[in-house]
Amino acid sequence: MTDPARTEVEEPEPGGRSPGGTAPEPAHRGLTSAEVAERVARGEVNDVPVRSSRSVAEIVRANVFTRFNAIIGVLFVIILIVGPIQDGLFGFVILANTGIGIIQELRAKKTLDSLAVVGEARPTVRRDGTATEIPTSEVVLGDVLELGPGGKVIVDGEVVESDGLEVDESLLTGEADPVVKKPGDRMMSGSFAVAGGGAFTATKVGREAYAARLAEEASRFTLVDSELRTGISRILKYVTWMMVPTALGLICSHLLTLGLPADAAVRRMVAGIVPMIPEGLVLLTSVAFAIGVVRLGRKQCLVQELPAIEGLARVDVVCLDKTGTLTEGGMDLGEVRALDGGDPARTKEVLGAFGASDPRPNASLKAVADACPPPDGWRCTGTLPFSSARKYSGAAFEEPGGERSGWLLGAPDVLLADGDPALAETGRLNARGLRVLLLARAARPLDHPDVAREVVPAALVVLEQRLRPDASDTLRYFAEQGVQAKVISGDNAVSVGAVAGKLGLPGADDPVDARELPHGDADAMARAIERGAVFGRVTPQQKREMVGALQSRGHHVAMTGDGVNDVLALKDADIGVAMGAGSAATRAVAQIVLLNNSFATLPSVVAEGRRVIGNITRVATLFLTKTVYSVLLAVLVACWQIPYPYLPRHLTLLSTLTIGVPAFFLALAPNKERARPHFVRRVMRYAVPSGLITGLAAFATYLLARAHYTGPDALPAQTSAATLTLFLTALWVLAIIARPYTWWRIALVLAMAVGFLIVLATPWLQRFFDLRLVGTVMPWAAVAVAAVAAVLLEVAWRWVGRRFPA
C-alpha cells in the first residue's frame, strides 16, 4: 500500500510489519541453497553483462577506424613515400588527437562503469524461506522474486502470489493502463509494478529474457544522433564531396600545366587537400562530451547517453515532480484532527493498524506508522492497494471484540462529497503547504466498485513535508537562465502551490487543478499549460499529455521523476531525469540519473551542456574557416595555373597555432550561453565570410610576392610571405572567436603569435618548416594585406550578426 494522496509510486522499502508486529510466513519459500548452486553450475543464471559504456576494443576501433582517419592516413603514407618527413607532420597530429580521444573516453568508461554499479537495482529474492536483496546477475532460473510498487520485473516469470498486484506493461505493449496480475499469469521482464504486491517465479533468465536487451539499451554509453553531431556529419559529408575534384584539379595542374616533378606535385596536392578536412572537429566534440560526462560523474550524475548533456542544455521547460524533487522523501506526522466528535484514541488505533497492514510503508505511511504504534489484537482481513486512478487505499480489520470494520485512507477531495465542511479545513491546511489525508470508515466491502461512496469521515491526518534546502536556489537558477519550471504533481493543487510558493517559484500563487484542464482540445490544453506553473491532481496519463502539449508548442521539455508512473512522461520528454533512489522503472528509461538524489545537480548538467554546445559552435567556426579558405585557394591556384603556395608542413604549423591548440582550450572553457538551434547555419554564417576573406588575403599576398620575387628559386620566398598573411589573418579570426576576452584568452592568442615568431626567428625551425622572410618590402606588404583583411573581418562579423541573427 502506498501513499493515497500522491500518484508517485515509490520504491518499496525493505522490512515492514504485519498487524501484530510479526511478519507472516511466506507461502512460497523459494529455492534452497543447494538448488541455487545446482542451477549456477548448469549456467541457468541471469548473467547478462549490463554495460554502461563501450568496450575498450570498441572505443579504440571507433576512434581509429574512421573515414577521415583513413583519408589522412593515405595522404600521410603518400608523404612518407615522396618525403620529406616534415611535410607529414599532419599525420602525427591525427595520431595524437586520436590518442587523446581514446584516453578521454576510457576515463569516461571507468567513471560510468563504477556509477552504473552504484545505480543498479537489486531485486528481492526468497531463498531458504528468507527474503534477501541480491545483484541482478545472481538471479537463477526458478527463483521466487518479491515485487512491490515501483519494482522492476527483471526476468520473465509466472505469478505465484498476488495482493492486488498491478503491473505497467506500457514499455512492452504501449498500453498505458496497468494490468491486474493473478497467480498463474505471465510476468514479462521490462514491466513494472505500480500497485499492490506479490511474488513470481523466474521462468526465463539471462539473454532469453526481454530485460536483457532492455537493460543494455537503457544503460549503454551511446553516441546517438544529436543536432550537434548531425550538423558536423553533414558538414563533413559536403567536404568529402569537394575533396576528390579538388585533388584531381591540383595534381593535373601541377603535373601537366606547370610541369613540376611528380614528388613536388604530390606534395602540393596533399598540401591543398589536408587543410580542407576539419578532422579535429569530430574528435574534439567527442572529447568535450566525454570530459563533460566525467565531470558530472564526479558529482554522482550518471549520464546514460552522451547527447543528453546537449539535450538538457537546449531545454527551455523543465517539469518537476514535487515529492522527491522539491521536497525530501521523509515526512512527519503533524497532527490528527478527529471529525464529528470522533474518539482521538480510537483514531490512532485505526491509523496504527493501517500503517502496520502494509509490509512496505512509504514515506507518508511510514510517518503515520512511526507516530501510531500498531494496536494489540487487531487482525488485518483484507487490503485495497493504492491506485493512481483511485487516489486512496483501504484496509479491513477484525478488532479485539470481534467487530469488523473497513477503512479508507486517501485524498479528502476524492473521498468527500462536494460541500463537505471538512473540505474547507483541508483547503486551509493545503494552503499552508501541508499534506492532508482523510481517514474514513467504509460503508461497503473493499472489493465493492463504489466503496468510496457514502464513507463516514473519521479524521484528517496532517503530514508535514520536508523541503529540500537547495531547491530554492535551483529554481532561481532556472529562472535566471530563461528556463520555465513547471511543478506537476498528483497532490492537491493548493498544497503543491504552497510548497512551490515557499521556494519562490513564479506563478505558484495560481495553482491549477489538472482535472479542470480542457480535454479533447490539444491546443487549448497546451495554452493552459504554458500559462500555468503549478499543476495538482495530475494523473500519469495527463503527465504524458502535458509533455506532448508543451512539445507541440515548440518547447524542448525535460521531465524529472522518481515514481514508476512517471515512466511514460519521462520516455516522451526530450530529456528524462530520474532520481537514483526512485523506482527502477524511471532509472531504466531516463537519460540522466541523479544518483545523489539531489535536484541541485541539474544546474551543473545544464551548465556542462551549454559549455559543450557553445564552445563546440565557437571552435567549429575555426575549423570550417580553414576548410573554406583551403577550398578557395585550391580553386584560385588551379584557375591561375600557378603552383600551390604551401607545403603540408606550412599548413600543419598554421593549423596547430591558429586552430588545434587554441580550440582545445576554448572547447573546455566555461560557457553559460544558452544553446540555440540550427548549428550548421549558425557556424557557416561566420565561417564562409571569414574563410573567403582569409583565402583572398593570402592569395593576394601570394600574387604580390610572385611579382616581387622572381627566378627559379623564388617559390620559398613567395610561400613565406603568403604564409605570414595567412597566419596573421587566421590569428585575427581566432582573436574574434576568443571574445569576450579574459586574461587567459588574451594570453592564449598572444602565445600563438609568439609561437609563430619563434619559428621565424629560430634558424633550425626556419629550415625545418622551409620559412624564411626575404627582405623587408614584401614582409611588410604581407602585414599590410593582413591588416586590411582584419578590418574586413570585423566589418563582416558585425554585418553577419545584424543580417543573420542567431
236-273 tens-digit pLDDT = 778 778 877 877 777 777 777 667 777 777 777 777 77
3-class state of residue 220 by DSSP:
coil
Q: Same domain for 614 and 754?
A: yes
In whole angstroms, give the CA distance from residue 775 to residue 239: 38
Q: Same domain for 378 and 389?
A: yes
Domain boundary among 582, 601, 620: 601
Instruction: Report the domain count for the chain.
Output: 3
This prediction has a pTM of: 0.62
Q: Same domain for 362 and 409?
A: yes
Closest CA to 195 of 391, 409, 451, 2: 2
Per-residue pLDDT reduced to its tens digit, 475-528: 888 888 888 999 988 777 888 888 888 888 888 888 888 888 887 777 888 888
Q: Same domain for 454 and 476?
A: no
Give the model's confidence band at 172: pLDDT under 50 very low, under 70 low, under 90 confident, else very high.
low
In the chain, the percentage of residues whose pLDDT exceeds 90 is 15
Other Cβ atoms within 10 Å of 27 Cβ, number:
10
Lowest-confidence range among 53-62, 106-115, 299-308, 320-329? 106-115
Q: Residue 361 in contact with residue 369, Cβ under 8 Å?
A: yes
Per-residue pLDDT reduced to its tens digit, 7-47: 333 333 333 333 333 344 566 788 899 999 999 998 888 87
The CATH number for 573's domain is: 3.40.50.1000
3-class state of residue 46 by DSSP:
coil
Q: Same domain for 363 and 484?
A: no
Q: Residue 19 in contact with residue 357, Cβ under 8 Å?
A: yes
What the block records as the C-alpha cell of 310 is 546537449
Q: Which residue range forms the structural domain that includes residue 345?
A: 331-466
What CA–CA distances, in Å, run from 786 to 307, 761, 793, 797, 804? 39, 20, 10, 16, 26
In the prediction, which pLDDT does 796 show? 93
In the prediction, which pLDDT does 586 show? 72
Per-residue pLDDT reduced to its tens digit, 645-678: 887 788 888 988 998 889 888 887 877 666 677 7
Q: Same domain for 455 and 580?
A: no
- Which range has highest mean pLDDT (3-17, 62-76, 403-417)? 403-417
Residue 705 lies in a domain: yes
- Does residue 358 carry a catalytic annotation? no
The one-letter amino acid code at 552 reads: S
Per-residue pLDDT reduced to its tens digit, 192-228: 787 778 899 999 888 777 555 544 444 444 444 467 7
List, in sequence order, every residue forming a beta bridge with 408; answer none if it has no partner: 394, 440
Per-residue pLDDT reduced to its tens digit, 557-604: 988 877 666 777 888 888 888 877 666 667 767 778 887 777 788 888
Closest CA to 792 of 668, 704, 691: 691
Residue 119 lies in a domain: no
Residue 577 lies in a domain: yes
Residue 490 lies in a domain: yes
Pick the catalytic residue: 316, 321, 574, 770?
Answer: 321
Rounded average pLDDT over 687-694: 94
3-class state of residue 146 by DSSP:
strand
Q: Same domain for 694 and 750?
A: yes
Q: In 3-state terms, the chain is what percent helix, strand and coil (to 5)? A: 55, 15, 30
Residue 361 lies in a domain: yes
Q: Same domain for 271 and 389?
A: no
Domain boundary among 430, 448, 466: 466
Q: Same domain for 451 and 588?
A: no
Residue 528 lies in a domain: yes
Residue 54 lies in a domain: no
Other Cβ atoms within 10 Å of 230 Cβ, number:
13
| ∠ CA 202-206-207, rounded to 5° | 125
Q: Same domain for 619 and 765?
A: yes
The CATH number for 781's domain is: 1.20.1110.10
Domain boundary among 466, 497, 526: 466
Q: Same domain for 596 and 505?
A: yes
Per-residue pLDDT reduced to its tens digit, 370-383: 888 888 888 888 88
Q: Same domain for 582 and 508?
A: yes
Helices 648-655 and 89-119 pack at an angle, to 10 degrees, of: 40
Closest CA to 460 of 411, 396, 407, 493: 411
The CATH number for 436's domain is: 3.40.1110.10
- The answer, yes or no, to whether the previous bond of 261 is cis (omega within 30 of 0) is no
In the prediction, which pLDDT does 726 show? 95
Residue 197 lies in a domain: no
Main-chain phi, psi angles of 205, to 5 degrees: -130, 170
Closest CA to 604 of 321, 284, 329, 303: 303
